[in-house]
Structure 1
Amino acid sequence: MTDTCKSCEALLTSEERFFYLDRCEACETRWHERIQAWLRGAHDPALDAGRFLDMPEVH
């Protein structure tokens, strides 16, 4: 487990590490808002393509 956010590299609090694992609360909130907008019909090319996680592409 890391001590910094994987999205913005901010230092994580112990609560953020417990609840969000590898993201700070601000980045987790932005991700949640992005997903919610997409579920309501907003266009998001990455989500439209099925890329829901920050994972490397394997061919």
Structure 2
Amino acid sequence: MRVNCVSPVFFEPKHPLRQEYSREFPVKRLASLGEVASAFLWLMGNPYVTGNVSIVDGGARLI
């Protein structure tokens, strides 16, 4: 059994503070749905990875 998790940053496409919030990130933007999906696909495609939490947040946890 494998257990993995993708933890994307919070985002709401129509949230009024979206641009202001993302300016604080080191990459200066929010992730696209494709970037978050890419993390899921990588985890599903690698059968050796388990117990992993992939943080997809553009460095937000660093600030």
Provide TM-score, normalisation by structure 1.
0.32
Give the structure with the larger helix fraction. Answer: 1
Give the structure with the larger strand fraction. Answer: 2
Provide TM-score, normalisation by structure 2.
0.31
Does 1 or 2 have the higher relative contact order (CA < 8 Å, sep 6+)?
Answer: 2
